[in-house]
Amino acid sequence: MVTKIPDPATQETLPLPATSAGTGWSHALRGALLLMLICGGLYPAVTATLGGMLFPHQSTGSLVSINGKVIGSELVGQPFSAPGYFHGRPSAAGYDPFSVSGSNWAPSNPDLRQRAAADAARIAEANNIAANTIPVDLIAASGSGIDPHITPEAARLQIDRVARTRNLPRNQVAGIVNEHVEPPVLSILGQPHVNVLKLNLALDTINQ
């Protein structure tokens, strides 16, 4: 069916091109398929390829290997508890990267207060320090539950215990800690931090 509209210049009616619902659906479907191909296939393939070429270590998860065996990731904390290792932050998720979460406990929650008090007492006893001198990141869990970093202050607090347990000079352990202090991202985002896994691996190389 052809619909006509009047032409103001000639007062004649001009025919409009015939359209149908089928033609509109066809155009929409082809456009959707094209976008799916670009956004769901081509774009991810290009970015993954470029990422693998430019950042091969990061694109595979920043994995850490020893003798060809993967032992962890620089991006995921681990539950170190032996006295000869530096300890990381508490985790409500058990450092499981597949179930990242916090405890969702409010500051007024008695369970949180009890857990924090118990952790503070344990850390104070293990490191022979006063509980009120413990950096907050050793007591407060991260929102993700897999934070691999602690503050330099939290690492230095543990130097005496680690050096004593490993029978190493204190200044040697302190030097390793200082070598592993990383600056804020782009020098402005966040604060200086220490990757606990990398720090402990550096200690293991000394005792081998």
What ranges do the domains of the chain cover?
4-56, 62-207
> Of 65-74, 153-162, 187-196, which has the strongest mean pLDDT?
153-162
Do residues 208 and 201 touch, judged by C-beta distance below 8 A?
A: no
**pLDDT at res. 166:** 96
**pLDDT at res. 12:** 60
Q: What CA–CA distance (Å, rounded) separates 190 from 204?
A: 28
Is a pLDDT exceeding 90 seen at residue 94?
A: no
pTM: 0.76
* Phi, psi dihedrals of residue 147, rounded to the nearest 5°: -60, 120
- Tens digits of residue pLDDT in 108-152: 889 989 999 999 999 999 999 999 999 999 999 888 889 999 999
- Tens digits of residue pLDDT in 37-66: 999 888 998 888 888 888 888 788 888 888
